[in-house]
Structure 1
């Protein structure tokens, strides 16, 4: 349901639009032109404006005064090209399919506004980790906001280094479990024979070396979020046990018989293609559908190269110290945006750290970049020193601090 403002001094036209919108379930507000500007100034909850364009100049003047508000012009306007916040034109008689399409355009105009600011301060702070203005990263932010308040399992997909754990932490931070713990587990870094004990814990004497009882990650994450990174590397026998936990919400420690209730939200991530693994018999299909309730694709950096300047700024601000910060010339930025970034954001972060060590408090140009990151041809400046300066430098190199005294002799 959305709030739609209808601006028209023609009562019949306004009523016809209201009838269609009421069928859609939208809330309609009808005002004449004399009240249009004051209404738009007072109401901050208008998602779409349908304006009578029989007086095109008046309708255009009102739309120009509110650039953040999407408008749909209603009327037979041959040759008129909508642009900016005029998202479309609806010819009369107005039909249901066309009107719904125009309302969707209004919704997208508001959602993708560059100036749109979140009303929650801490949400903005955490989203700094998902820096960028590309459509791909904006879509990821939107999906996080949609799924975070729910209890749905989330599966984060994407190449290594794209920031899958960052997405998981954002989901946790914006969820109702934000005051509880977030525990990450890399399933690929733990040997298969130890993974069960790591996740579910064990009782004393459960196996050789188990000198005492130990809580597992599920138990430690009770009431919070458990992030299972590289879920595609989990052995099949462990996949069965994880599926049971997700289905029954109980588990047992290794060597134990007492069922433990589980109130943990599971977020999984992988760089593998799980559907291909299912066909190869390497991943359980039933577990896949349990985890894949709400998938989020973490985009590769090469798919959102326009975000690189903002990412560089963010990474430098994180790594800079009191006497060490770097900036980039236009040529350096252009070259970095041409790179393929096989290691994604992690590779970019490593490069920034390397450059800050090599060139502290410097302006980085194309010539300062490692060879693999040089993808454009640009003129390189080589200083042309006066001969007398070069001669003095040569003498200093030979005689060191006694150079001046040797000249006097």
Structure 2
């Protein structure tokens, strides 16, 4: 399953190494990443390499849940529990018994349901709406968010205790614009894939088009790149795609900026420099992690992950 996660950039390879280790355990995982980075794909890979691989993998998009039905959808309900409950309904947790429940956009889960989810994570028990007693289920939770949960906590929109319970192991997917040469790798991969899928001659990108697409910031991440490749594969089968064939937004991509730092010929230790920058930012902000994260161009969650990773005091 991890083979479908395409990338060779150092940050992405480090993510996959960590994910392979985590997959073999039953630990709760919080996947952090922008929209379109492949959070569900990573969750499925974790399930596929776990001891639960042959058990159910159930998904729930918390952002698509009206608050009025969120509890019932997650925990289920019993016949007669409320108007319209004409039969027993197993919630997603009961359906996933023995397997994994993937909670996408966990930041959108209503606060009262967050409290019940926390109780499940602590006890392994659920109580469907209208049930007289709780019942035990064996479910691994993998949650995902594209939001800054620290900001949500500060605003009272997300429970701090639930955040700590979910983020036993945080896995942060880097956005495509930070993945270096992965853009070209993904372009070629998807063009081959769609040529096979649609049984058409494969199109290829010319060098000028590749340069343009590498410079493009990809706000929609891999999902946007994938859609672009499918469109061009269908419209230009067997042809070489040049710069003028690209969509207008890609042609408007700014040229590559001059690097802020020039790599010395003898190289340097990236990890030591990152640790030093984090310590400087924390010192400059008197330990305020929110402001330090802003100085470093990170979210607070991303900074906390690096502090924990490097054991920074």
TM range (shorter): 0.7 to 0.9
From 223, 231, 242, the equivalent of 1:346 is: 223
User: Mapping of 1:283-362 within 5 angstroms?
Assistant: 283-320=158-195, 321-362=198-239
Q: Deviations over 1:111-139 (max 9, x none)?
A: xxxxxxxxxxxxxxx22321111001101
Decide whether the 8 Å contact of 1:161 with 1:346 is kept in 2: yes
Q: Which residue of 2 aligns with 1:214?
A: 89
Cα distance, 1:290 vs. partner?
0.4
Q: Measure the CA separation in 2 of the matches of 1:206 and 1:161.
A: 38
Q: What TM-score, normalized by structure 2, do the two folds share?
A: 0.78
Aligned mates of 2:128, 2:59 — CA distance in 1: 19
- Match for residue 174 of structure 1? 49
* Counterpart for residue 59 of structure 1: none
Structure with greater contact order relative to length (CA < 8 Å, sep ≥ 6): 2
Q: Distance in 2 between matches of 1:258 and 1:165?
A: 33
Paired residue total: 252
Find the aligned partners of 2:192 and 2:85 in 1 and give their Cα distance: 45
* Counterpart-to-counterpart distance in 2, 1:350 and 1:300: 16
CA distance in 2, matches of 1:317, 1:156: 29
Residue 65 of structure 2: aligned partner: 190
Within 5 Å, give how 1:9-408 maps onto structure 2.
Answer: 126-320=1-195, 321-374=198-251, 375=253
Q: Check whether the contact 2:216–2:254 (CA below 8 A) recurs between aligned residues.
A: no
TM-score by length of 1: 0.60
Per-residue deviation, residues 176-226 of structure 1 (Å, max 9, x unmatched): 111111111100011111111111111111111111111111011011010
For structure 1, which runs of at least 5 residues remain unmatched after alignment? 1-125, 378-409
Q: What runs of 5+ residues in structure 2 fail to find an aligned partner?
A: 256-313
Once residues 202 and 114 of structure 2 are traced to their aligned partners in structure 1, the CA distance between those partners, rounded to angstroms, is 46
- Does the Cα contact within 8 Å between 2:2 and 2:42 map onto a contact in 1? no
How many Å apart are 1:324 and its aligned residue?
4.2
**What secondary structure, in the 3-state scheme, does the structure 1 residue paired with 2:3 have?**
helix
- Of structures 1 and 2, the larger Rg is shown by 1
On the 8 A contact 1:155/1:269 being kept in 2, the answer is yes
CA distance in 1, matches of 2:180, 2:23: 27
Contact 1:130–1:137 under 8 Å retained in 2:
no
